[in-house]
Amino acid sequence: MSTIPLPRRDHLEFTTALDRELIHPGVSHVWSPHSVGTVLALLASGASHRTLAQIVSLIGRDFAGQLLDLDLSAAPEPGLDLAVLNGLYVPSDLPLRRTFVEHVRSRGGSEIANVDFRGDAEGVRGYINGRVAETTRGLIGQLLPPGLPPPDVRLLLVNALWVRMAWQEPFKPSQTRPLPFRAPGGPRPVPTMHRTARLPLARAHGWGLVTLAGGQGLYLDVLLPDTAAPTPPPLSPELVGALYRARSATMTRLALPRFAVRTSVSLLGPLSRLGLKDMVTAGARFDAISPQPLAVSEILHQAVLRVDEKGAEGAAATGVLMLRAGLPSRAVEFTVDRPFVFALRRGASILFMGRVTDPVDPGPAA
């Protein structure tokens, strides 16, 4: 099993930390540590002071080394079905530090372009969504939803990734049959693939792990808790490391559901809970990106993964929108769709206060 490379410790720590924040009980999710890690490492390369310290506290101090390893994992080679985009899109009047431009330019699939956010935001949206869709082979068609980017965006950093792996030993479709799956809503039959083979297998600390190999150094790990729960417990770097170290080639009768997972999420909340708070404030310091003060206004992420008898196909995209620091960011959602409290005030006095649990419509205003 020593021939199977292991993730870097700092990358694994980042992965398990952010994955923990993305868990919603009873809900499937997928995301790309490669895509998110790439944009965070690029932001770190352009940050300073407390902004840099907070990013480094999550991804590790050697973000330059991480970028190199992330690049290597997405490097082209004959027979490898993989594509990547690293795009930097700015208006022509934003000065950029040469070092940061070179950081982006040296990444695989780099594209640096001047765009007109203020005069043609919808055209920019269409272009970037098109580039992401092209890179991800159509699996992610709309990274930027309607209304984004707003006209006051000063910089947009985009990473997209697509990969398709074929099993070294495909599952036989004739052996796929329904088996009960203990889902959060109760057991239900799902199409389940079967294969008996000698596979890397491990058990440690109440978990099991099996590794399925594809070509060109691609592997899919499946981690299964011994005890059924609506949502698997959060992982830790120590647990994952122990499972990797415990792997041995074992004759295994594997039953694995076919599955597809898709997730679309804003990462600002999860990253803030992990300590990355300054980058969205007027005090953000991205001095090594531009002499103009910049702050992050949004980080969007989408990912999709499909696993079937032939192999696995995945795609992800991450977009970082930056405004001039000190300007208000895009509108915050505030939808009153649940019981609420109200207060009507004048001067120093609260004239009325109450709670609404089930609104009664008084009719249109006269």
d(CA 213, CA 195): 13
pLDDT tens-place string over residues 99-110: 999 999 999 999
Output the pLDDT for position 187: 85
Q: 58-62, 304-308, 344-348 — which is least confidently predicted?
A: 344-348
Give pairs for 133-136: CB < 8 Å, separation 24+: 135/83, 135/84, 135/85, 135/109, 135/160, 135/161, 135/162, 135/317, 136/83, 136/160, 136/161, 136/162, 136/315, 136/316, 136/317
In this structure, are residues 201 and 252 in contact, taking their beta carbons and an 8 Å threshold? yes
Mean pLDDT highest for which of 68-72, 137-141, 190-194, 328-332? 137-141
Query: Does the pLDDT of residue 241 top 80, yes or no?
Result: yes
Residue written as token pair 């300054």: 278
Domains of the chain: 9-162+262-324 (3.30.497.10), 173-259 (2.30.39.10)
For 59-79, give one letter per residue: b (16+ CB within 10 A) or e: bbeebeebbebbbebbeeeee
In this structure, are residues 326 and 282 in contact, taking their beta carbons and an 8 Å threshold? yes
Query: Does the pLDDT of residue 175 top 70, yes or no?
Result: yes
Residue 52 half-sphere exposure toward CB, CA atoms < 13 A: 16
* 220 C-beta neighbours (distance < 10 Å), count: 17
Residue 280 tokens read as: 């969205």
Query: Does the pLDDT of residue 358 top 80, yes or no?
Result: no
Output the pLDDT for position 156: 98
Global pTM value = 0.89
Output the pLDDT for position 352: 39
Residue 305 tokens read as: 């993964």
CA dihedral over 267, 270, 275, 280, signed as positive or negative: positive
Query: Does the pLDDT of residue 336 top 70, yes or no?
Result: no
Query: Does the pLDDT of residue 357 top 90, yes or no?
Result: no
* 332 C-beta neighbours (distance < 10 Å), count: 6
In this structure, are residues 244 and 208 in contact, taking their beta carbons and an 8 Å threshold? no
Output the pLDDT for position 366: 43
What's the full length of the chain, in residues?
366
Output the pLDDT for position 337: 53
In this structure, are residues 39 and 318 in contact, taking their beta carbons and an 8 Å threshold? yes
Read off the DSSP letter of residue 177. E
Query: Does the pLDDT of residue 359 top 90, yes or no?
Result: no
Residue 90 half-sphere exposure toward CB, CA atoms < 13 A: 21
Read off the DSSP letter of residue 244. H
pLDDT tens-place string over residues 1-26: 446 778 889 998 999 999 999 988 88
Q: 14-23, 104-113, 136-145, 186-195 — which is least confidently predicted?
A: 186-195
Residue 292 tokens read as: 């103009």
Output the pLDDT for position 179: 87
Read off the DSSP letter of residue 168. S
Contacts (Cβ under 8 Å, ≥6 apart) of 360:
none
Residue 14 tokens read as: 């980042």
pLDDT tens-place string over residues 249-279: 999 989 888 888 899 999 999 999 999 999 9
> What percent of the chain has pLDDT above 70?
88
